Amino acid sequence: MGEGKHIDPATGTETVGHEWDGIEELDTPMPRWWLLTLYATIVFAIGYTIYYPAWPMIGGATAGLSHWSSRDQLSAEMKSESARRKPLMLALAQIPVERLPDDSKLMHAAIQGGAAAFRVNCVQCHGSGAAGGKGYANLNDDDWLWGGDLKTIYQTIDHGVRFAPDPATRVSQMPAFGRDGLLPPAQIGDVAAYVMTLSGAARPGASAARGSLVFAATCAACHGADGKGNRLLGAPNLTDRIWLYGGDRETIVETLTNGRGGVMPAWGGRLDPATVKMLAAYVHSLGGGEKFVPDAEPQGEAQAEAGKVPAPVKQNASR
């Protein structure tokens, strides 16, 4: 607009020159300090992008004078966290696993740590809720193939089940009675019928009666005469309501025919003892944990273990 400045008479301030229905906008000048503050923030922003990684380039962003990266920050944080947890891990390494319940603080920490380690290492087979699946044990219930006290759970996790590379692994074998021709199909059917009566899933009948004879001769060696299983052999209790592979007739016939032999890796080879202890504590805490009952001689064993120098932390100490 050419015809000079519009000055608002009431305030003496120049207007921007537009008018909307008689309303004009004042062109109030900014205070100088305000403007200087704005410039200062601009300078700061430029400095910031020089100091920190900021400007996008073709192969990435500028590194900035600070060479800061979120990855470095994370690893620094992990390092300080593992330093913070060092005393805990040391205490865990030293305590015999069955003594954990005596130290409720340590036990609590172990359960927490075990839950985290479980999510990383175990959920692939046992599920995120530890409820397992066909062939993978549900760790929430009160049925244990090899035993459910802290020490036994530790042993199972440490050395695995049917895990060939570990000489101390738990071994047992459910033979493939049908495939290997140990029992004819008719007898397999009879045994299945009998097994189903053990847990009350089926009524006794002629087939089951025949099966009971086969069972006594062939299966009782591992599963016991009463079918209650044998934890030393990892032979499942057939009288309860829990089935690793399935308790329906078809599945039982399949189990008898082809045998079963699930494998669990020996975690002692991959995780440090403290983490395995934490895993044992976590699994034990899921509601089915059993009380540790010392054998005749474990006193000396426990002492020997307590006196042992803690093994160096192998991995996972940061979790």
Partner 1 sequence: MLPADDLTNRARNQFFEKRRKVFPRQIDGPFRRFKWLVMVVTLTIYYASPWLRWNRGPHAPDQAVLIDLAHRRFYMFSIEIWPQEFYYVAGLLVMAALGLFLVTSAVGRAWCGYTCPQTVWTDLFLHVERFIDGDRNAQRKLDDAPWGPAKIARRLSKWSVWLAIGVLTGGAWIFYFADAPTLFHQLITGTAPRVAYATVFVLTMTTFIFGGFLREQVCIYMCPWPRIQGAMLDEQSLVVTYKAWRGEPRSHGVKRQLEAASLSPAGDCIDCLACVAVCPTGIDIRQGPQIGCITCALCIDACDEVMRRVGRPPKLIGYTTEVDEELARAGLPAKSPLRRVLRQRTIVYFTIWAAVGLAMLFTLGNRERLTLDIAQSRNPVWVRLSNGEIRNSFTIKLSNMEERPRRFIVTVDGIKGRLWDESRGSDQSVSALAYDVPADQVATHSLYLAAPDSGPQQTPILIVARALDRDGGQAVGKARFERPEESQ
Q: What is the binding site for partner 1 (CB under 8 A)?
A: 5, 7, 11-14, 28-35, 101, 104, 107, 111, 127-129, 131, 138, 140-143, 148, 237, 240-242, 285-291
**Cα separation, 178 vs 242, whole angstroms:** 23
Q: Which is nearer to partner 1, 25 or 142 (CB)?
A: 142
- Minimum CB distance to partner 1, residue 254 (Å): 21
Give whole-number Cα distances, 24 to 1, 2, 14, 258, in Å: 15, 17, 10, 92
Number of neighbours of residue 29 by Cβ within 10 angstroms: 10
Q: Which is nearer to partner 1, 144 or 163 (CB)?
A: 144
- Minimum CB distance to partner 1, residue 229 (Å): 11
Number of neighbours of residue 87 by Cβ within 10 angstroms: 9
Q: Which is nearer to partner 1, 10 or 57 (CB)?
A: 10
Query: How far out from the chain centre does Cα 235 lie?
Result: 26
Query: How far out from the chain centre does Cα 262 lie?
Result: 19
Q: Which is nearer to partner 1, 203 or 291 (CB)?
A: 291
- Minimum CB distance to partner 1, residue 5 (Å): 7
- Minimum CB distance to partner 1, residue 198 (Å): 12
Query: DSSP labels for 46-102?
Result: HHHHHHSS--EETTEE--TTT---HHHHHHHHHHHHHHHHHHHHHHHHHS-GGGGGG
Q: Which is nearer to partner 1, 31 or 60 (CB)?
A: 31
- Minimum CB distance to partner 1, residue 135 (Å): 17
